[in-house]
Amino acid sequence: MLPHAGEGHAEALCEVADRGVLPAEALQDPSARRIGERGKRLIDQRLPKDDMVAGLIDAISAAPDIADLSEKQARRRLLIWRRDRAIILALHSSGMRVSELCGLRRGNLDYAEHTAIVLGKGDRQRTIYLSDVAWQATMEYLKALETIPLFCRHDRSASDKRLALSTHAVRDLFTRLARETGIAERFNMTPHTLRHYFATRFLDHTDNLALTQEMLGHEDPRTTRIYAHPNKAKIRKAHSELFNKGREKSG
């Protein structure tokens, strides 16, 4: 049995939904509807503005200054920049979890379709789709090195070993970019908030809960519904197009 549906409980449920799995006992709880509404409000609070996301992408798109670096230092700096740019663009256009990104391997990529297979919650596989710019950025990074993990560490302690990047390192990347751009003063930008941004925009654009559920890798559609914001104008338009089509002409 779940505890009383207070704000803390709603926030905890929202955190679980954020990871893509909503516990069955939560869905069966009589207070689930109220929690779901609070969860939607929490998602709204964690949704970055368009200008914040644009600022994040602009910040990572500018190549670093390597004029005063040695050849080895310059190569490492460019590798890190190409990797970080590919990471931000991939997360932005795919909605995948940071753990799924860090688990990617070269063999997961479909070079013809510009997609990848990720292993999500419950070891469920799904296809994620990359935008053209995200795919290009990923290919530019991969051209610079041969590695099995898709995104590797390039810090000095890693030396020449091809070690997979950790989820903590990706979160640190978001923290650094948010501080550099001033976003941190307005919003707590994380990989998960970018996932919220993707989910909300994708659902708003498609009006298709099933497609959004598939893109996010949610096991239960009720988890995906936390991103839904019913729009009366859209409902009226859809209803009119379905039931009133042609009546104006015939009348």
Whether 227 is a known active-site residue: answer yes
Whether 195 is a known active-site residue: answer yes
How far apart (Å, rounded) are the C-alpha atoms in residues 131 and 57? 13
Whether 218 is a known active-site residue: answer yes
* Identity at 184, one-letter amino acid code: A
Helix (H) or strand (E) holding 10: helix 7-18
How far apart (Å, rounded) are the C-alpha atoms in residues 80 and 69? 14
Q: Residue 13: which of 229, 226, 227, 230 has the closest Cα? A: 226
List 38, 40, 195, 196, catalytic entry: 195
Query: Tokens 């939607």, residue?
Result: 40
Contact 2, 31 (CB under 8 A): yes
Whether 121 is a known active-site residue: answer yes
List 40, 85, 218, 225, catalytic entry: 218
Whether 229 is a known active-site residue: answer no
List 38, 92, 141, 227, catalytic entry: 227
List 9, 38, 97, 225, catalytic entry: 97
Q: How many CB atoms lie within 10 A of CB 220?
A: 15
List 153, 154, 192, 196, catalytic entry: 192
List 41, 121, 176, 201, catalytic entry: 121
Contact 29, 35 (CB under 8 A): yes
Residues annotated catalytic, as ranges: 97, 121, 192, 195, 218, 227
